C-alpha cells in the first residue's frame, strides 16, 4: 500500500483540475489543429443527423422529455431514501455496496477489492465515472494493469489520452490516426485503414484479455432501487464480457444514477439511446441483479457497487443547480454545441466536456479550477433544447458565471471556489456601470464625454482586438440624435 499512500498525498485534487485551469491555452492549441477540427465537425454532423432521424414525431419527443424530466426530478427529491433502498435491495441480492465521498476513496476501495481477491488482470467496460476518478492511473501505481475494452476507450488508452466525448471516446481521431496507433503498438499489425480490419484486430487482442481477466470493472447507466438491479447500455458486448466472465465484478457510479422503479427504465432508456446515437435501442441492454447463484455455471462470484459523491451532493444542495444531476449522460448537448464542435473535447481539460462538463465539473473540481468553463458558451440554447431531461443548461451556465464572480465573503457558500473568478477592477467597472445607469444626469454627462472624447479610444484592447477591430463610440449619443430628429420633424411641420 506504499504507492497508494504516496498517491493519496500527492493527489489531493484530480489531475483534471490543472488541465481545466489551462482552458484558454488548450482552446488556442486545438483551434489551430485543422485535422482535429475536421474530425469533430464530421462526427458532430453525423450524430446530429442520427438523433434527428430517431425522433420523427415531435409529439412523442415532447411527451417523453417531459416524462423523463419528471422521473429524474422525482428520483432526485427522494435521492437519500432511494440510495438506502438501493443498498438494501442490492445487498439482499448479494451485491456489496460501498460509498465514497472523494475520487481517492473510490479508487482505494476498488484497489483493495482487487488486492483482497488477488486480482492480476483487470478489464474495464466503458465508465466515465472511472475516468473521473482516474482509476487507471491509480491502479497502475499499484502494479495492476487495467485494460480498457470499449473500442474507443482502448484506442484512447493506447494513445495515452483521455476520452474527448462521453459516448464516442476516440471521436477526435480519424482512421488513419488509429491505423498508425495500432501499427506502432500491436505486434504483427501492419498499417491498414480499413475500419473492419482495425476492429477485428482490436477484437482479437481484447478477447485474449477477456479470457484471462480475473476482475471486470464497469459503469452503470441506471441503478434500480426497487429491484436492486444495475443496468448497462452498450453496443459492443465488452460490457457483457466485463460483467460476466471475470470472477469479480466491480461497478462504479455516481449517486445520481439511481431510479426508483423498474418501470422508470423504459422511457429513460428510449431517450438515452435515441438522443445519444439515434438508435431505437442499443445492441445490448444488460440488467444485473445478482452475483452467480447456486447451480449457475458462469457469472462473477462477487459483485460490488461503488457509489461516488465527488461534488454531486454540493450540486444537490441548491434547487437550481440540482437539475444538473438529472443528466443521463447521452452527450446530445455536446453534439449540438457550436463551441464543442469547434474546440473539441480535450480543450475543456475536464473528464466531461461540452455543456454537461461545464455544468458538472465546477462541482467536482471547484470553481477555482473551472471558472472559465461556464463562459465558454454563446448561450445559443441548443444544448437546452435537445437535452432529453430538459435541464435548462444555458440558465445554469449563467448561474455558474454569477457564482464564480460573487464576492468571496458572501455568507452562503453554494460552491467550492465561489468567487474565484472575481477581479477587483472588473467588479469596480460594473459597479460604476450600474451607478451611471441608475442616474439619468450622470448617464447623459458620461455619454456626452464618451462621444466627444471618442478619439482617445485605444486601438488595442487586449484579447478583444486580437481578431477584431476596436469599437469606436459614435459622434453623438442616441439621445442627442433622437432629439435632433424630433426637432427636425417639428421644423418641417
Which single residue is written with the C-alpha cell 468571496?
A: 408
Q: How many CB atoms lie within 10 A of CB 162?
A: 21
Q: Is 219 in the site for other proteins (CB under 8 A)?
A: no
Q: Is 413 in the site for other proteins (CB under 8 A)?
A: no
Measured from the CB atom, the residue of 312 and 406 that comes closer to other proteins is: 312
Q: Is 11 in the site for other proteins (CB under 8 A)?
A: no
In the complex, minimum distance from the CB of residue 85 to other proteins, in angstroms, rounded to a whole number: 12
Q: Which three cell numbers stand for residue 49?
A: 443527423
Q: In terms of C-beta distances under 8 Å and separation of at least 24 residues, what long-range contacts does 40-45 make, across chains too? A: 40/171, 40/172, 40/340, 40/341, 40/342, 40/344, 40/345, 41/341, 43/165, 43/168, 43/171, 44/335, 44/336, 44/340, 44/341
Which member of 4, 90, 144, 152 binds other proteins (CB under 8 A)?
Answer: 152
Q: Which three cell numbers stand for residue 138?
A: 491509480
Binding part of the chain for other proteins, among 57-65, 339-347, 366-374, 383-391 by CB under 8 A, reads 57-65
Q: Is 5 in the site for other proteins (CB under 8 A)?
A: no
| CA separation for the pair 17, 103 (Å, rounded) | 13
CB 351 within 8 A of CB 135: no
Binding part of the chain for other proteins, among 55-63, 412-420, 434-442, 466-474 by CB under 8 A, reads 55-63
Q: Is 292 in the site for other proteins (CB under 8 A)?
A: yes
Site for other proteins in 301-360 (CB under 8 A): 307, 309, 313, 316-317
Q: Which three cell numbers stand for residue 392?
A: 435548462
Binding part of the chain for other proteins, among 3-11, 226-234, 435-443, 464-472 by CB under 8 A, reads 226-234
Which member of 22, 141, 186, 281 binds other proteins (CB under 8 A)?
Answer: 281
H helices within 251-337, ranges in order?
Answer: 265-277, 312-316, 319-322, 332-335
Binding mask 64-103 for other proteins (x = CB under 8 A): x-xx--xx--x--xxxx--xx-----------x-xxxx--
Which member of 7, 16, 23, 210 binds other proteins (CB under 8 A)?
Answer: 210
Measured from the CB atom, the residue of 127 and 477 that comes closer to other proteins is: 127
Site for other proteins in 130-149 (CB under 8 A): 149
In the complex, minimum distance from the CB of residue 204 to other proteins, in angstroms, rounded to a whole number: 11
183 backbone dihedrals φ, ψ, rounded to 5°:
-60, -35
Binding mask 158-177 for other proteins (x = CB under 8 A): ----------xxxx-xxx--
In the complex, minimum distance from the CB of residue 451 to other proteins, in angstroms, rounded to a whole number: 52
In the complex, minimum distance from the CB of residue 37 to other proteins, in angstroms, rounded to a whole number: 15
Q: Is 298 in the site for other proteins (CB under 8 A)?
A: yes
Measured from the CB atom, the residue of 23 and 316 that comes closer to other proteins is: 316
Angle, vertex CA 99, rays to CA 163 and CA 229, nearest 5:
75
| CA separation for the pair 334, 168 (Å, rounded) | 11
| CA separation for the pair 200, 484 (Å, rounded) | 77
Measured from the CB atom, the residue of 151 and 373 that comes closer to other proteins is: 151
Q: Is 53 in the site for other proteins (CB under 8 A)?
A: no
Measured from the CB atom, the residue of 255 and 351 that comes closer to other proteins is: 255
Measured from the CB atom, the residue of 32 and 196 that comes closer to other proteins is: 196
- Burial (CB < 10 A; 0-12, 13-18, 19+), residue 136, is buried
Taking phi first (over 0 means left), then psi (-120 to 50 degrees means alpha), and beta for anything else, what does residue 379 get? Answer: left
| CA separation for the pair 157, 30 (Å, rounded) | 20
In the complex, minimum distance from the CB of residue 222 to other proteins, in angstroms, rounded to a whole number: 13
Which residues fall within 8 angstroms of residue 456, CB to CB, at 6 or more apart? Answer: none
In the complex, minimum distance from the CB of residue 12 to other proteins, in angstroms, rounded to a whole number: 16
Q: What single DSSP character describes residue 226?
A: T
Q: Which three cell numbers stand for residue 66?
A: 417531459
| C-alpha of 211 from chain center | 32
Measured from the CB atom, the residue of 284 and 443 that comes closer to other proteins is: 284
In the complex, minimum distance from the CB of residue 437 to other proteins, in angstroms, rounded to a whole number: 37
Helix 151-158 to helix 195-212 angle, to the nearest 10 degrees? 90
Q: Is 14 in the site for other proteins (CB under 8 A)?
A: no
Site for other proteins in 250-269 (CB under 8 A): 255, 261-263, 265-267, 269
Which member of 33, 121, 192, 235 binds other proteins (CB under 8 A)?
Answer: 235
Q: Is 151 in the site for other proteins (CB under 8 A)?
A: yes
CB 299 within 8 A of CB 291: yes
The helix or strand, by DSSP H or E, that contains position 98, with its residue range, turns out to be strand 95-100
Q: Is 109 in the site for other proteins (CB under 8 A)?
A: yes
In the complex, minimum distance from the CB of residue 343 to other proteins, in angstroms, rounded to a whole number: 19
Amino acid at each position: 500500500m506504499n504507492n497508494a499512500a504516496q498517491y493519496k498525498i500527492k493527489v489531493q485534487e484530480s489531475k483534471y483540475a490543472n488541465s481545466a485551469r489551462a482552458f484558454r491555452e488548450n482552446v488556442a492549441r486545438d483551434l489551430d489543429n485543422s485535422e482535429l477540427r475536421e474530425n469533430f465537425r464530421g462526427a458532430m454532423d453525423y450524430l446530429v443527423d442520427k438523433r434527428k432521424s430517431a425522433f420523427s414525431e415531435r409529439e412523442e419527443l415532447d411527451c417523453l422529455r417531459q416524462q423523463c424530466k419528471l422521473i429524474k426530478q422525482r428520483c432526485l427529491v427522494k435521492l437519500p431514501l432511494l440510495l438506502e433502498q438501493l443498498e438494501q435491495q442490492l445487498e439482499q441480492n448479494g451485491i456489496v455496496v460501498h460509498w465514497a465521498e472523494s475520487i481517492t476513496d473510490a479508487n482505494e476501495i476498488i484497489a483493495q477489492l482487487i488486492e483482497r481477491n488477488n486480482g492480476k488482470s483487470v478489464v474495464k467496460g466503458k465508465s466515465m465515472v472511472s475516468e473521473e476518478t482516474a482509476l487507471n492511473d491509480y491502479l497502475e501505481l499499484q502494479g495492476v494493469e487495467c485494460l480498457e475494452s470499449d473500442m474507443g476507450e482502448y484506442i484512447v488508452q493506447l494513445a495515452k489520452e483521455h476520452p474527448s466525448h462521453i459516448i464516442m471516446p476516440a471521436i477526435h481521431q480519424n482512421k488513419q490516426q488509429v491505423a498508425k496507433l495500432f501499427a506502432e503498438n500491436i505486434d504483427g499489425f501492419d498499417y491498414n485503414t480499413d475500419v473492419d480490419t482495425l476492429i477485428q484486430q482490436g477484437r482479437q487482442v481484447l478477447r485474449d484479455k477477456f479470457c484471462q481477466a480475473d476482475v471486470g470493472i464497469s459503469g452503470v447507466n441506471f441503478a434500480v432501487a426497487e429491484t436492486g438491479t444495475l443496468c448497462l447500455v452498450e453496443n459492443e458486448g465488452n460490457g457483457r464480457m466485463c460483467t460476466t466472465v471475470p470472477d469479480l465484478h466491480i461497478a462504479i457510479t455516481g449517486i445520481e444514477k439511481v431510479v426508483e422503479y423498474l418501470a422508470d427504465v423504459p422511457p429513460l432508456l428510449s431517450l438515452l439511446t435515441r438522443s445519444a446515437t439515434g438508435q431505437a435501442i442499443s445492441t445490448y441492454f444488460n440488467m444485473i441483479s445478482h452475483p452467480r447463484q447456486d447451480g449457475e455455471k458462469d457469472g462473477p462470484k462477487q459483485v460490488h457497487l461503488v457509489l461516488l459523491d465527488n461534488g454531486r451532493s454540493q450540486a444537490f444542495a441548491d434547487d437550481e443547480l440540482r437539475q444538473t444531476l438529472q443528466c443521463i449522460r447521452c452527450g446530445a448537448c455536446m453534439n449540438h454545441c457550436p463551441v464543442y464542435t469547434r474546440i473539441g473535447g480535450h480543450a475543456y481539460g475536464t473528464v466531461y466536456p461540452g455543456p454537461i462538463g461545464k455544468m458538472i465539473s465546477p462541482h467536482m473540481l471547484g470553481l477555482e479550477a473551472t471558472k472559465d468553463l461556464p463562459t465558454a458558451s454563446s448561450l445559443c440554447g441548443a444544448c437546452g433544447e435537445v437535452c432529453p431531461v430538459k435541464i435548462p443548461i444555458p440558465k445554469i451556465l449563467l448561474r455558474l458565471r454569477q457564482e464564480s464572480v460573487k464576492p468571496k465573503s458572501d455568507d452562503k457558500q453554494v460552491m467550492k471556489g465561489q468567487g474565484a473568478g472575481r477581479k477587483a477592477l472588473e467588479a469596480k467597472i460594473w459597479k460604476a456601470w450600474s451607478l451611471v445607469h441608475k442616474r439619468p444626469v450622470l448617464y447623459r454627462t458620461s455619454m456626452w464625454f464618451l462621444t466627444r472624447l471618442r478619439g482617445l479610444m485605444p486601438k488595442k484592447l487586449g484579447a478583444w482586438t486580437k481578431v477584431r477591430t476596436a469599437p469606436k463610440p459614435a459622434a453623438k449619443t442616441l439621445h442627442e440624435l433622437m432629439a435632433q430628429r424630433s426637432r427636425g420633424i417639428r421644423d418641417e411641420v
